[in-house]
Amino acid sequence: MSGMNCPHNIYIHVPFCMSKCKYCAFYSVANLQPDWKKYADGICSELQFWAEKLGRIKIPTVFFGGGTPSLMPTSTFDQIMSCIQKCFDLDENCEITLESNPGTLDANKLRDFVRCGVNRLSVGVQSLTDGELEFLGRKHDVRQALNLLKTAQNMNLRVSGDFIYGLPNHNEKSVENLCKQINQLKLEHVSMYELTIEKHTPFGQMNLNMPDNETMARMYEAIQGTLNLPRYEVSNYATPGQECRHNQNIWWGGAYIGIGRGAAGRPYIDGVWYDEMGNNERFEKISNETRTVEKIITGIRTTRGVELDSYVLNQINTDWIKKHNDLVALSDKYLYALPKGFLILDNLILDLIK
């Protein structure tokens, strides 16, 4: 496992939104005028707590997720980044990602974010059809989304676009058409998320006629066959070298701190893993075995797979793997899913782990 005081990635949750989307199950608050000073002071207080716990460690990535982090005043962002730099050592090539929604960010504000350290922008496009955006409860239109993508690309930022497929009227053909439209945007990173219906969301209260599992599987394969980017994780596609390093580090079992209410973390302190929630909501030890199972569950979602070590080898069912070599494979260094296995990952994981 990791060494003492190893590098930690930082995830900062910004819970505020213009309004809550109909499918959203994350912790978020519809509030256009939050107390940003109170929010930033709370985040900085947490960062200082972790600096005392971990010492002046290296930080390879910082990710501002939400909610809608692009609603944040750039002065608030600057205060938080200054605090991180006071508390820790940012890697020379630290990846600093800001999640954003069209309609919350113009060229001037984006330029200010870049000046304060943002070098990667994730844009919640979700659809390239105005009617679908309205159905999803999004507050922007296609024109605003395309403008933000183009503005960010013109600033030479690393840019990612998030899209949702599997809406009630979607089929293989509509997903192929969506992917062809995305190809024209010349993005180097794309996230394609299947619409999942959570019980406690507005969509969960509706009787939506969702595509069946077989149709969803065909749509998933259509993405791989149409999008001009290779898949590197079950829902993520990128030009090699443009993968989201923050997410990769976490999927592969790296240590990370969750800052702010709604954020989760897995710090590694003095040889012990912890399950942590931001806003000091949880901080408890977990065993190496528990952490290894988490690492298998997230790592198998990547095309690289799970790096093998003694902990992983003790947790996986090698007999089952040998019998199902059409679903998963073992190399000298990695356990990884094959294309057929990617279609049934949730079930596969249940059999894979002892």
Residue range 19-68, pLDDT digits in tens:
544 444 445 556 668 899 999 999 999 999 999 999 999 999 999 999 89
* Whole-Å CA distances, 127 to 207, 227, 294: 22, 15, 31
Q: Which CATH class is domain 9-249?
A: alpha beta
pLDDT tens digits, 215-231: 989 999 999 999 999 99
Domain boundaries, the chain: 9-249, 305-354
Continuous H helices in the chain = 36-54, 74-87, 107-115, 130-136, 142-154, 172-183, 213-226, 245-251, 288-299, 310-315, 318-323, 339-342, 345-352
**Amino acid residing at 95:** E
Q: Is the pLDDT of residue 325 over 80?
A: yes
| Rounded percentage of the chain residues whose pLDDT exceeds 70 | 90
pTM, entire model:
0.92
The secondary structure of 188-219 as a DSSP string is SEEEEEE----TTSTGGGS---PPPHHHHHHH
